[in-house]
Amino acid sequence: MGKRAKQRSILPGFGLSMGYTLLYLSLIVLLPLSVIFVKTATLSWEQVWQIVTADRVMASYKVTFLASLGAAAINAVFGTLIAWVLVRYDFWGKRVIDGLVDLPFALPTAVAGIALTTIYAPTGWIGQYLEPLGIKVAFTPLGIMTALTFIGLPFVVRTVQPVLQDLDKQYEEAAATLGANHLQTFWRVIFPPLLPALFTGFALAFARALGEYGSVVFIAGNMPMKTEITPLLIITKLEQFDYAGATAIASVVLIASFLLLFSINYLQWRVSKQQ
């Protein structure tokens, strides 16, 4: 027999696929992001430093980063719990709950912000019960964290859920037969393969929260030096036609998001290498 006929791939070869990939990413991602730095470069280093380190801007960094970090941490815990329930248990209404997880993706962020403000305002459905306890949510950093938790939840759930589905229960059963309790089984058998996905979900939720505007601007109250978020300052400068100032502040948030994602990817690589 002659040489076996070379099988042809349905998809195009590596060269063509990589070319389209680079072209698409350049047009959709790299080119718009590069404009931010190009516009910022029209300012001198002294001007850029003066803009990004102004007292009002620094206060917005503090509010934005701390609220985003807190929201991502909350989602890392409760998002994992929700993913666990959806994967490991069968119950009535499971499909409804599974669909509700994606609701923040479909709901316009401005609508979410108005709804959260209405609910957690001092006279709202939930806020009226929190007010006598001295807990104020709307127009406080706590309200900002609440809104960011809302929009970041799907990132953790949808990242952790497939990993839980692929985990082999035989390892858990083997750990149980060896005398491990539930906590030991989770910590030594389930948690290690779950950790990279948890890192990814946390990073995505955090990065998404840094740039969130619509769902936060209503519930924040936008008080300078107290509850003013960085995206609001960017919008304010754009409305004032200070495009270079807006891109200077945006570049700080962009670099912070990139460093975070890079660090998370590095941690994922280290964890997967140790396993």
CA of residue 98 relative to chain centroid, distance = 19
- Does residue 230 register a pLDDT over 90? yes
The string of pLDDT tens digits covering residues 142-165 is 999 999 999 999 999 999 999 988
pLDDT at 178 over 80: no
pLDDT above 50 for 3:
no
Picking from 164, 186, 147, 152, the residue whose alpha carbon sits closest to that of residue 75 is 152
CB 215 within 8 Å of CB 73: no
Tokens standing for residue 10: 């349905």
Q: What is the mean pLDDT of residues 136-142?
A: 91
**Cα 96–chain centre separation:** 23
Type of residue found at 272: S
> Is the pLDDT higher at 73 or at 17?
73
Find the mean pLDDT for residues 106-132: 89
The predicted model gives 240-252 an average pLDDT of 92
Q: What is the mean pLDDT of residues 71-97?
A: 92
So what's the pLDDT on residue 9?
Answer: 58
Would you say residue 167 has pLDDT above 60? yes
Quote the mean pLDDT of the chain: 86
User: Residue 29 gets which letter from DSSP?
Assistant: I
Please name which of 271, 228, 269, 264 lies closest in space to residue 76, comparing C-alpha atoms: 264
Q: How far is CA 67 from the centre of its chain?
A: 12
Three-class secondary structure of residue 36 per DSSP: helix
Dmax of the chain from CA atoms? 87
The half-sphere exposure of 172 on its side-chain side, counting CA atoms within 13 A, is 15
Question: Does the pLDDT at position 275 exceed 70?
Answer: no
For residue 8, give the DSSP letter. Answer: P
The single residue listed with the structure tokens 């990817």 is 265
Measured CA to CA, the distance from residue 234 to residue 18 in angstroms comes to 35
Q: Whole-angstrom distance between the N-terminal and C-terminal Cα of the chain? A: 46
Mean pLDDT of 179-208: 83
Instruction: Please check the confidence at residue 272 and state whether its pLDDT lies above 60.
Output: yes
| Domain 55-274 class in CATH | mainly alpha
| More confident call, 30 vs 176 | 30
Residues 6+ apart with CB under 8 A from 29: none
For the residues 203-214, what does the mean pLDDT come to? 89
Q: How far apart are CA 76 and CA 64, in angstroms?
A: 18
Q: Give the count of beta carbons closer than 10 Å to the beta carbon of residue 226.
A: 14
**CB-CB contact of 114 with 218 (8 Å):** yes
Q: What is the pTM of this model?
A: 0.85
What band does 195 get if pLDDT is binned at 50, 70 and 90? Answer: confident
SS3 content of the chain, % helix, strand, coil (to 5): 75, 0, 25
Q: Average the pLDDT over 194-202 and give the result.
A: 88
Q: What percentage of the chain reaches a pLDDT higher than 70?
A: 93
- Do 155 and 205 contact (CB within 8 A), yes or no? yes
Domain regions of the chain by residue span: 55-274
Among 22-36, 68-82, 167-181, the range of highest mean pLDDT: 68-82
Q: Please give the pLDDT value at position 11.
A: 60
The DSSP code for 222 is: -
Token reading at 272: 């997967």
